[in-house]
Amino acid sequence: MKRGGQEIYVGPLGRHSCHLIKYFEGIQGVSKIRDGCNPATWMLEVTSSAQELALGVDFTDLYRNSDSYRRNKALIQELSRTPPGSKDLYFPTKYSQSFFTQCMACLWKQHWSYWRNPSYTAVRFLFTTFIALMFGTMFWDLGSKT
């Protein structure tokens, strides 16, 4: 994708991104990938806005006019049709787990987040205790004087 969410290539990458490389190297003016270069980095370099201006091409238009684009659109149309005799999906409840099970999972995760770092938890506990004692002594017996 390029800026704006426009597709410039949608398809299989292949082993070591061979399909992606073949597609972009097939475009007139795009430089070949260097040995040892990361294919993702190379693809970002050759499809930048500056490269589009330098080559005088729009990678979005090139992709929309490609066989790959037409195959993908045909596949989407084919998979969008429901087969005859099929039924809609039905789920008996809105959630896959009960409220109790979800609460237990959240509590278990919270338990492990606290005890993954006991020293941090101990410092937080001591700091909270200190602040509570400090505010308690500052406002001790203040309500009875009004």
Decide which of 80, 108, 126 is a domain's last residue.
80
Residue 26, in any domain of the structure: yes
pLDDT at 146 over 70: no
Instruction: Let me know whether 70 and 28 are in one domain.
Output: yes
**DSSP code per residue over 72-86:** HHHHHHHHHSPPTT-
**What whole-number distance in Å separates Cα of residue 52 and Cα of residue 127?**
58
Q: What is the pLDDT of residue 127?
A: 97
Q: What is the pLDDT of residue 98?
A: 92
Average pLDDT over residues 50-79: 91
Average pLDDT over residues 106-133: 93
Q: What is the pLDDT of residue 77?
A: 94
Q: What is the pLDDT of residue 145?
A: 67
Instruction: Let me know whether 72 and 103 are in one domain.
Output: no
